[in-house]
Structure 1
């Protein structure tokens, strides 16, 4: 009963805007079922080799880096409302163009274009969360948003597996419809609220002198850059769940698309069930630094066990540990970024954090597929576990330093 009360309390105090941002994200990510199946699509439908597939997926990462950088810059310049709106409405139609590109160069181009535009959304969305959430609810607001992402990731791959078994073209059409719907809902809800918020800030600015931000640029903030480096190492290892791991399930474990979709969907569904509870408990009993370390170790175990066995029960054990680790790492990374930034440069900080994750979309498929091709998947999973532990300790010590320097905040 006490656990249930803690779970219910996790949702208290979250603003209507935080809930709507999460609903928009849910619709958006429910449609984003293409990415986990892009590797399978290129090998099974287009006849690409594993290395060619890894090369194309790396262009998704290059686009993500550019999109994250531009998203941070544009958000600080034009505001998160305009950036999110344009990103959703421009990226949606591109999904309809993907089936018309069947060469390696063509796929690399269209995937690069799509990711460049869609990833502009990420820093703007993070800024919107910090904008509408109360400071004491910041991590839970990020967690609510991630819960929506994972519910979408639970629905999307499961549906994507079914649709891809019929026709891959259904994947692209549904992505277009879902992201367009997310854009319409976002604009209808936030158009007036954004205007009211800007007017309120303008009124306050007439009587209050803004506090000068100590860290004018995240690119000159050395502790934050080191923290972002370890975020990148974690992401490079962890986000094999999006590209290399589905290839492993298909080529080594011999699962079909529907089974792969269900396994990935299980991960997302588990996160939806327990994320808010685990985040709330972590905030009560652990420091942010300790939470990041423990989460990284859980992810490390989840990957490393696949190097020794890949029976169904082992895969479920692995996905369970990865899911718990993801819960304990990703929302708290966003919290550290948010409390490190202030005022007018918040978009730039979120952009740097986005770049750290986007680098994984370049390096992970390129490096992961080559290690698997030359040394085997078992070697890949064992070394992934080792580097996740390294990332965990790096996150632990850099977060302790950042929190110490911000000891005047209310965060632990």
Structure 2
């Protein structure tokens, strides 16, 4: 049921994929102003992730998830009333804080309701629901945006409303899986575990992960603008391409991760995932037809499958049992920080130098990141 709630909620996620187009077309913002607003969304995501975890520890995952879903509904409805850069930036920041606080509470909820032997599969199912929802949401959003951009906000509000009702009806006063608490062995040494912020090799790894994510997250900011301005696609066509990305992850993730675990080590899998990301961006400037966009997004989706799960696994393996949370937190912070810098840098490069310079530059950076990650992970 948690996966169903996530599926409904992400199916209604129509605003973010079209936010950059909405601001340029309906509000008349410049590309750089769009980058500023989307950077505020990234700041909100960082704040919301921290706040959601803090509130979950104090009030429980049920109430945090319920309030996150419930409060997002009126926010989606009122955002179309704001038209200035400052007002939209503040509104998007608040919306991001509210919606992203759902994630840590949902992760705790998955761990609570799943049986101990099924936790890994439960998280995989939840991730699959997110990607399946993302494959449906942009396609629906493209159809609604072709009617009126306001409808994508109304559609997102409707999706959040349905998800809220589903969640409350099924999980109100529902108890999680009871686990017997076992005595933990006392560590042989009383020495405090090493902080990830003093682990210079892991800090370098996290920095490279952040740069990879800055490049990858162009998917949510400059790429929709490029589809519209560079290839003159309409909202429905853009929605179908973005939805295709989520569908590829749903279809191939479990298979490719299984193959990579058996035939590749962590360093090789992350290297090829990052290299494919470089190829996907290098394809975009080619003066070919509509099909090249699908080839590029396909490569980008395979890159996500090969790189991101294994980046998280590296963080887990690097840590000890006493500081696993700290290492995972730093790894998550690298990706959250990328949400801030990705739209801010990408839109400014595209506006000042053109999209082709952005794509070639991104591909070049990713080649260097792929090589760096390969040697750093091997050394780790």
TM-score (normalizing by structure 2): 0.88
Q: Which residue of 2 aligns with 1:52?
A: 33
Match runs of 1:233-252 below 5 Å: 233-252=211-230
Moved more, 158-167 or 274-283: 274-283
Q: Which residue of 1 aligns with 2:149?
A: 168
Q: By how many angstroms is 1:348 displaced?
A: 5.4
CA 32–282 in structure 1, closer or farther in 2 if over 3 Å, else same: same
TM-score (normalizing by structure 1): 0.81
Give the conservation status (yes or no) of the 8 Å contact 2:134–2:246.
yes
Q: Choose from 163, 168, 171 the match for 1:182.
A: 163
Q: By how many angstroms is 1:44 displaced?
A: 0.6
CA 148–196 in structure 1, closer or farther in 2 if over 3 Å, else same: closer
SS at match of 2:29: coil
The reply on whether 1:90 has 2:71 as its aligned counterpart is: yes
Q: Deviations along 1:301-325, whole A, 9 cap, x unmatched?
A: 0011112335212112111111111
Q: By how many angstroms is 1:398 displaced?
A: 4.1
SS at match of 1:307: coil
The reply on whether 1:231 has 2:212 as its aligned counterpart is: no
Match runs of 1:267-282 below 5 Å: 267-282=245-260
The reply on whether 1:335 has 2:316 as its aligned counterpart is: no
CA 117–215 in structure 1, closer or farther in 2 if over 3 Å, else same: farther
Q: Choose from 359, 364, 376 the match for 1:386.
A: 364
SS at match of 2:347: helix
Give the conservation status (yes or no) of the 8 Å contact 2:111–2:119.
no
Give the conservation status (yes or no) of the 8 Å contact 1:236–1:364.
yes
What is the number of equivalent residue pairs in this alignment?
Answer: 377
Q: By how many angstroms is 1:74 displaced?
A: 4.1
- Could you tell me how far apart the structure 2 residues matched to 1:159 and 1:262 are? 9
- Could you tell me how far apart the structure 1 residues matched to 2:204 and 2:115 are? 27
Give the conservation status (yes or no) of the 8 Å contact 1:130–1:338.
no
Q: By how many angstroms is 1:286 displaced?
A: 1.7
- Could you tell me how far apart the structure 1 residues matched to 2:264 and 2:110 are? 23
Q: What is the aligned-residue RMSD (CA, Å)?
A: 2.9
CA 105–280 in structure 1, closer or farther in 2 if over 3 Å, else same: same
Moved more, 52-61 or 240-249: 52-61
Q: Which residue of 2 aligns with 1:204?
A: 181
Match runs of 1:4-403 below 5 Å: 20-75=1-56, 80-129=61-110, 132=114, 138=120, 141-190=122-171, 195-197=175-177, 200=179, 203-204=180-181, 207-208=183-184, 215=193, 218-339=196-317, 349-402=327-380
Q: Which runs of 5 or more structure 1 residues have no equivalent in the other structure?
A: 1-19, 403-412
